Amino acid sequence: MKNIFYKAATLCCVLALSSCTSRKNVKVTPPDGTLDKCSLRFSWWGGDDRHEATLKAVKLWNNRHPEIRIVPEYGGWDGWTEKVAAQVKSGTEPDVMQINYDWIITLSPDGSGFYDLEKLNSFLDLSYFDKNIVSFGRVKGKMNAAAVSLSGRSFFYNSRVYDSLGADYPQTWSDLTALGSSFGSADMYPIDLDIQSGGTAWYLAVVYMQQKTGREFITDDGQLGFTYEDICSALRFYKELEDSHVIRTVRSRTDEDGNAALYQSSEFISGRVAGVLEWGSAIGKYESVLPEGVLEAGPLLSDENGNCSGWMIKPSLMYAISGHTEHPDEAAAFMDFLLNDEECAELLGTTRGIPASSKAETALEKKGCISGLAKKSTDILNAADTVTISPYMELPRMKSFYNAAIESVSYGTADIDEAAKQMYDSINEYLEKIRK
């Protein structure tokens, strides 16, 4: 994770987005240093494991502080970004929110979309966080959000299926491609890539090309780092995975899974799909649908020379407070509870990854709670020469460009050159627009 903080501070200087998040002009309630009786709305997305753990944490808070009642709002990832964006635009967002890294670009381009956390230090203690991690949440000099954890995508495999076929977890890209033959003979797939929940298919293609070229796909200041030829090669790599029976085609995935996320798919639960590329902070939802101990973490893929660069990491999740909450002190106290409280940390475990707060991490270590796939994934990424994902890469509009190209290549409605040209032009045009 050597390059994780290399350009994090750049973000503070480049957020100049003319966004669609115009909102009613509301008065900002200043903190008064006291905690008063109130109700606070708290929203998050995730899988069942995260929901169950978070509801337990909310119950703990409500038992401790009956005068400050937390009202939970939660759901799955699909459609969540649009829901929160609409809430922010209308001024109806919750007091405390779990947010994604890229939301500080779209929802707070000038730093005023969320409350400045540095004004709430009477109840929110960020001294347990590394200063570089703190910098991820700063926008235009304002502390807009606090990172909950750091995470990256890596591979996880169904050990029973691999053992039954006598297959080893791949170490290189060619190893992965070669698995398609043995798995295909058994009408199975060594991995699959979920395009519905965040462009996982394109993510892997980006890693492959970053490793091959040394260029970053999107820079921290919102510039396209890939050439048109790089995008062609990335799409060609993706199509090779389909053609080699490493992953299902988009048509097969749609026919077999419908709108279900991959972890909810009978193809994954049955073992026909025997591997996934997922965030270490979110792997629990896959782990929970398989027998205990069956899902295992595998190595990050490298080239034939052992070069394992190009893999990416970012703040997995962040917490923010509404810029116009009427209860900033109370919201800050609850956020501090979520981030730093030792008993809360034990309840949440690693459902949002290994905590960035040293106090919460220490509490989990003492209880022996930092283990399992989240820990193994973190260790694997820590040992790699990772780069920090540009928040621009994860913007919803950007993901629509990736998925459109992947789908057109998979369905054969466009050849690779045409799809690459469309993606290249669309990305350049969009990035130029939002940087203005």
- 376-397 pLDDT, tens digit each: 998 999 899 899 899 899 898 9
Measured distance CA(187)–CA(434) in Å, rounded: 45
pLDDT, position 196: 61
pLDDT, position 195: 65
* Nearest CA-CA partner of 31 in 89, 100, 116, 112: 116
Are residues 145 and 117 in contact, defined by beta-carbon separation less than 8 angstroms? yes
Per-residue pLDDT at 14 exceeds 50: no
Find the mean pLDDT for residues 5-28: 46
Residue 411: how many CB atoms within 10 A of its CB? 12
What CATH code would you report for 153-310+395-435? Answer: 3.40.190.10
Q: Delimit the CATH 3.40.190.10 region(s) of the chain.
A: 8-151+315-382, 153-310+395-435
Largest Cα–Cα distance in the chain?
68
Higher pLDDT, 396 or 60: 60
Find the mean pLDDT for residues 249-255: 94
Confidence of residue 13 (pLDDT cuts 50, 70, 90): very low
* The CATH number of domain 8-151+315-382 is 3.40.190.10: yes
Higher pLDDT, 11 or 189: 189
In this structure, of 7-16, 343-352, 390-399, the range with the lowest mean pLDDT score is 7-16
